[in-house]
Amino acid sequence: MARANHKLVKRLMNEKRSHITDRQFFTSRMLAGHFEDMAAAQTRRYKYDRRVRVQLDWNPKSEEAAYTDNQKIYINTGNPYVTDERGRQNRYWMVCGLFAHELGHVLYTDFLTSQTHLNNLERGIWYPAPPALRTSSDFANEKALWAYTKADPRNLKAVRTVADYIGNLLEDGYIENRVLADFPGTLGYSLETIRKKQLDEMHTVTRLKELEDDGQSTVFQSILQVMLSYVKFREVKYGDEPLSDLRIKTTFDLIRELDQAVSDYSVKTRLDTVNLILVRCWEYIQEFCELLKKRTEEAEALAESIGKALGSMAGTTAAGTGGTPVAGSGSGSVSAVSHAEASDDAENEESEKEDDEPAGDDEEQEKLESDSNNGEDSTGFLTGSAGNEGKQPVSEGEDGRIPYHQTDSVSEPVGGTVERDEEYKRERYDKAASDIDRILDKMAEKAACGQLENERLSELNEVANNIAYGDIHKGVNISIKRITDVDPDLVEQYDNIAPRLVAISKQLQRSIIKQLKEHRQGGKQTGLMMGRRMDSHALCRNDGKVFYKNSLPTDIPELAVGLLLDESGSMGCSDRCTYARAAAIILHDFCDALEIPVMVYGHSTGSSSRGPTVELYSYAEFDAFDQDDRFRLMDVSARRNNRDGAALRFVAEQLSKRPEEVKLLILVSDGQPADCGYDGTAAEEDLRGIKQEYQRKGIAFVAAAIGDDKPSIQRIYGDSFLDITDLEQLPVKLTAMVKKHIRI
């Protein structure tokens, strides 16, 4: 198996860890992956099959702390809200609290319905329903509101922005209540931590009035601050003001609607409350908008100014965007708008924009979508990714492509209630320090492995350029390529297909482990059809298995395996590289489980400033610094030409240096060497010569063929070939091959 040099990695880990700064820690992919795993654990309960991504940045100059688009959660870990805390553990809790808040939006917020509300507001329509007007002031305010929006496009933009922030305010109160009720552990504790800081920072009503007098705020901003304090914390900081104060009274007049808004699963209830607040507070909203209008002339600038003014309130977060929430009927959430309604709104918006869009945008978008779908395969576990630059997509048949197929689903949950336990005591989480230590260890290990991988890559290139490849490859450059930092997408792709392929590997392991154990331990073997000794206890059997023999313990010869994959362009037809990738994953898992050293390489060609180049792709090495080789195998793809002889000689040379008694080199190819000046009978003769040379050095060759490639493989490598077209038969064939070469 790929044996890790733990001592070397551990030493470098200790060196790297002592130099990890807060900025490195809080923007690391490790910490982002930690939060992504937390999100996956919560979203899987709702049968959500798309992984929520987390992006951690460090931007101290940005006022934004966190937001989400329902697919990715963005957190600015350099925001003063985080950096003002002392100690890495306290800062971790703040970041985790921001994550918990945004995850609440992903789980419970229906952004699509909120967008529909704003779109209808721009058209002069109340959505989902007109507000309940009770007094003459309400009727007068509604009339004044619509008149104001029609008078000036800037007015409409301002009212829309205000409505968006009111909706976000109510949504924040709703989703935080849900998170605290549903996730009392790490997420709940971290959210409580950040909420405590937000509540401490909120001004009293007395202080809000002082800010108004100084011209730093308006009555409407103060009213919103009081409402936010109530919907999030069920608390209003009065200061020295009586309950009859305008700001307090306005909030208490709406208290029944506010309570219902933050407890009802339906987003429509919150939108109804937004509409009512717009009407009830119109006098102060208009004053606020007019004040900011004096500072700007453009509608977009006005909206930005309003957003900045309202976003500066303590306890607010940036408004998110996206679609329907993750949580379905199992969580009791209600999708407040059907996809039909959303589709109608989208169509209306598109029709309004068509005249403004430049010609060719649709064609460009279709091209991008088509390009992004190339290589997707509906056949299941065999297909990996083939969308990277320089790689050819895998097709089901010769020169064909599998048609793109997309499936959409819609969640329309109904019913449900929310209950808040006022006597609940938060559960302290005592593993915060160990969690951070674990992430720091991972970061240090990753940095150490990255350094060792870069050093090894330099050594491999040096070794490759010191090998004599023969006159036929004279003037051709050799380049070793290896992924030093495995992309999370490769991990996700591997995790999606691995269970079905590893199951084949486990079947293969079971068939050989028992025999290996028997040979190492020795003992009495009974139930044999023939032999020199008869078992008297088995004479009653009718099947003739009455013989036995005593086997002495024997040492099984140690085995090392090298696998070389052809990654030429022709491997993209008839799913050749797909079968090659799958076979590599199975073989690697098999060898890893049985502690058999294994090396996996792919090869193709390219060009550089130095001229033609043989490109060797290192997927798995005998000595591993990390445990990511299995993920690197997902990068196997059809690429360009193939100069098999140079690649075969490099891998055979590396394998010949191994100390194991038995060395097995498996080739997966279509039997068609093809490069500039390297093809036909001359190329095949070069391959036969390399095989014979290294056979004399003790390397056993097995050439794997896929489908119609068997005649070509036989012609080049002789009868020692393996048909891997049927992966279901691969365990039996690999078992027989391994038995043959270790003689059991």
Q: Tell me the per-residue pLDDT of 557-575, one tens digit each, with 9 for 90 and over.
A: 688 999 999 999 988 888 8
Q: What is the pLDDT of residues 338-372, one digit of tens each?
A: 333 443 444 444 444 434 444 444 444 444 344 43
Any residues with CB less than 8 A from the CB of 536 and at least 6 apart, and which? none
pLDDT value at residue 384:
40
| Secondary structure class of 315 (helix, strand, coil) | coil
Q: What is the pLDDT of residues 49-77, one digit of tens each?
A: 778 899 999 999 888 889 998 889 999 99
Q: What is the pLDDT of residues 433-489, one digit of tens each?
A: 777 777 777 777 777 777 888 888 888 888 888 888 888 888 889 999 999 888 888
The pLDDT > 70 percentage for the chain reads 76
Average pLDDT, the chain: 79
Q: Where in the chain is the domain with CATH 3.40.50.410?
A: 468-521+555-742
Phi, psi of 153 (to 5 degrees): -55, -30
Out of 172-181, 469-478, 634-643, least confident range:
469-478
CATH topology (fold) of 12-108: Zincin-like (3.30.2010)
For residue 182, CA distances in Å to 385, 421, 468 come to 37, 11, 66
pLDDT value at residue 413:
54
pLDDT at 703 > cutoff 90 = no
Alpha-carbon gap, residue 637 to 205, rounded angstroms: 64
Q: Where in the chain is the domain with CATH 3.30.2010?
A: 12-108
The H-or-E segment that residue 526 falls in is strand 523-528
pTM of the model: 0.57
| Secondary structure class of 479 (helix, strand, coil) | strand
Two structure tokens written together for 640: 């360009």
The H-or-E segment that residue 625 falls in is none
Q: Which CATH architecture has domain 468-521+555-742?
A: 3-Layer(aba) Sandwich (3.40)
pLDDT at 46 > cutoff 90 = no
- Write out the DSSP string of 14-47: HHHHTT--HHHHHT-HHHHHHHHHHHHHHHGGGT
For residue 604, CA distances in Å to 189, 234, 268, 638, 673 come to 53, 65, 58, 8, 10
Cβ 133 vs Cβ 139: under 8 Å: yes
pLDDT value at residue 415:
59
Q: What is the pLDDT of residues 299-318, one digit of tens each?
A: 667 667 777 777 666 666 66
Q: What is the pLDDT of residues 585-620, one digit of tens each?
A: 998 998 888 888 999 999 999 887 777 899 999 999
pLDDT-derived band at 704 (thresholds 50, 70, 90) equals confident
